[in-house]
Structure 1
Amino acid sequence: MAGPTTAERGARQQEPSGPPPARRLRPPSVRTIIILGLALVLLGAGGGWLLYGSQWLRVERVTVSGTRVLTPEQVREAADVPVGAPLVSVDTEGIEDRLREKLPRIDSVDVVRSWPHGIGLKVVERTPVLLLENPGDRGGFLEVDDEGVRFATVSRATKGVPLLKLTLSRSGSAGASLRRFGEERLVREAVRVAGVLPDRVARDTRTLKVRSYDAISLELSGGRTVSWGSAEKGAAKARTLAALMKAAPGARHFDVSVPTAPASSGS
Structure 2
Amino acid sequence: MAGPTTAKRGTKKSTSGPRPSPSSGGRRFRLPRPRLRRPGRRGVIIIAVLAVLLGGFGAWAVYGSNWLRLERVRVTGTDVLTPQQVVAAASAPINAPLASVDTDAVERRLLARLPRLKSVAVTRSWPHTLGLEVTERAPKLLLETDGKFAEVDDEGVRFGTVTRALKGVPLLKMTVSDSPSSARFGTGRLLRAAVTVAQDLPAAVRKDVRALRVRSYDSITLELAGDRTVMWGSREQGAEKAKVLAALLKAARDARHVDVSVPSAPAVSGS
| Equivalent residue in structure 2 for 1:88, among 99, 116, 140 | 99
What is the SS of the residue equivalent to 1:179?
helix
What TM-score results when the alignment is normalised by the length of structure 2? 0.89
AA at the equivalent of 1:262: P
Trace 1:128-207 onto structure 2 (pairs within 5 A). Answer: 128-135=139-146, 139-170=147-178, 175-207=179-211
| Equivalent residue in structure 2 for 1:14, among 24, 35, 40 | 24
Query: 1:120 and 2:128 equivalent?
Result: no
What is the SS of the residue equivalent to 2:226?
helix
Q: What is the CA–CA distance in structure 1 between the aligned matches of 2:20 and 2:41, rounded to whole Å?
A: 47
Residue deviations 1:153-209 (CA, integer Å, cap 9, x gap): 111111210000001152xxxx22111101111000001100110011111100000
Q: 1:49 to 1:216 in 2, by over 3 A?
A: same
Trace 1:236-255 onto structure 2 (pairs within 5 A). Answer: 236-255=240-259
Mean CA deviation greater in 189-198 or 15-24 = 15-24
Which structure is larger by alpha-carbon Rg, 1 or 2? 2
State the 1:27 CA deviation.
2.5
**CA RMSD for the aligned pairs?**
2.1
| Identity fraction in percent | 59
State the 1:11 CA deviation.
2.0
State the 1:64 CA deviation.
0.9
What is the SS of the residue equivalent to 2:39?
coil
AA at the equivalent of 2:59: G
| Equivalent residue in structure 2 for 1:109, among 108, 120, 126 | 120
Q: What is the CA–CA distance in structure 2 between the aligned matches of 1:10 and 1:50, rounded to whole Å?
A: 64
**8 A Cα contact 2:176 2:216, kept in partner:** yes
Mean CA deviation greater in 223-232 or 14-23 = 14-23
**8 A Cα contact 1:112 1:121, kept in partner:** yes
Residue deviations 1:9-29 (CA, integer Å, cap 9, x gap): 772543662784655443222
State the 1:134 CA deviation.
1.8
What is the SS of the residue equivalent to 2:130?
strand
- Runs of 5+ unmatched residues, structure 1: 3-7
**8 A Cα contact 1:134 1:153, kept in partner:** no
Q: 1:31 to 1:261 in 2, by over 3 A?
A: same
